[in-house]
Amino acid sequence: MGQPFPPQGGQKSYTERPLKIYGEQYVSGGPLPVGATTETANPVYADGRPHVILPGGLVKDLRAGDWVLSNRYTGAPVNVISDEEFTERFGGGGGPSESP
């Protein structure tokens, strides 16, 4: 397997045993996480709401506090999860609200 794709934007490395992913939390009014878009080509998102297009064409809404998880080898987004699920899976920490 090749070298990991370097983190982009505000991504940080997190570990979910045995997986390592990149995660970036969406903060309302802040920059969009890597892999998120506000494109309006899809009529459902004509109002410009932030969303993430996952492999297979699945589209997930992005709400303030949600985390975008990306593959560290390709940089492609693989999932969008809530802050609560992120805390359960990865132990929390690292989010903008917890920065010093």
Alpha helices in 4-73 (DSSP H): none
Instruction: Please state, in angstroms and rounded to a whole number, the distance separating the CA atoms of residues 34 and 46.
Output: 20
Q: How far is CA 27 from CA 17, 39, 51, 68, in A?
A: 26, 18, 13, 11
Residue carrying structure tokens 């080898």: 73
CA dist 9 and 6 (Å) reads 10
pLDDT tens sequence for the chain (100 residues): 677 778 888 888 887 766 788 999 999 989 999 999 999 888 888 899 999 999 988 999 999 999 999 998 888 999 999 999 999 888 866 665 543 3
Tell me the whole-structure pTM to 2 decimals: 0.76
